[in-house]
Structure 1
Amino acid sequence: MGGQYRITGDKYPRMRRPRRRGRLVLLAVASAAVLGVFGWGTLQLVDIFTGGGGKASAAGTKAGCPAEASPSPSARALPEPRRITVNVLNATTRSGLAKKTADELKKRGFTIGDVGNAPEEYDKKVKGTGVLLGPVSARDTSLSVLAAQLSGAERRTDAARKGTAVDLILGDGFEQLAKKADADRALAALASPEPTPAARKGC
């Protein structure tokens, strides 16, 4: 070309294509996302094969401290009802209550001793279901077996008491003995206690 727009010299400007920075940014973001997904999947596989950290395994435990069952208490040697002599005493104003209750205990295998009114110390003074009274040696044996027949009764021991017989003193709140099926389940639980969950040491 000539005239006003004539080009002189032996070098010409080069026309470069604009760099495609948008594609590079998109490629970098996609690569980071792929690496992130791959890393997350790897961690999941590690958790599965090592058994660590799942919600199911963490349920019911303290932070980082799984619960373990404490050793099962040894079975208790409880006396059979026929080896327990029970004195049934009425501390209420309802007549015939002691006799009726004694007959039911006899059907359940207990040996019945005295049947009658409660001594003055307890007569008309027991507001609850009843009082189970026996020697200290009967605390976790005979009294426990008898308590299974009457829920809610108060247990007492007398260090000066002689013999092995125990008293069932019926109070104003007494209506009837526990159902035999319920009493049998209570006795079974006493004889073979189930282990209870316990936290690991250091948790």
Structure 2
Amino acid sequence: TRDIIETRLDLGGIVVTLADTAGLRNTTTDDIEREGVARARARAEAADLRLLVVDGAQCVSRETLLAGEDENVPRETLALLHPGDFLIWNKADIAGDIQREGNSGFHEHVVSVKTGAGMTQLVAALTQSVAGPAIGGDDPALTRARHVKAVEDAINALTRAEAQIETAPELAAEDARLAVRALGGITGAVGVEDVLGEIFSSFCIGK
């Protein structure tokens, strides 16, 4: 498939978008599959956090995979991972545990999607990685440049809206929409019409 399937998860109060991409194979000759691989690579490069799921039953060894010599996981695929990303060994019910000596720089977890083994620990680690900076503090921490930019855009839009709410409510409404959209990139989808209905309940918009 070339489609990217998305779902939203709540990890420690932080709404994240999980994108499941096509498998990353370099040997395909199918045009549609090549397009799916290209889209998957682009999405992985743009993501804040990457999770590489490998078939633990097919990997020769951890050392072979990390050296980029496993034919099931191309070197180019492994190169997409950044320090702090997740390397997940699936099919623990068949392959058993993976000997993980030495630090790969990734969060490594051995799981079985079939039996559920290791999944609780994986979700806890993901939650800590995503929401950790905000847990234990009085205010959520903005740890990514994209989030900082989104908040700055929202503040600027709301400042413009406040300045125009009396004289040009239709323009203020559009700036409010932009602010909601910017924050939605961090927190998840927000009901724009509900927000506008509350803010402009006493104004006549669009006339």
Give the alignment's TM-score, normalised by structure 2. Answer: 0.21
| Greater fraction of residues in helix | 2
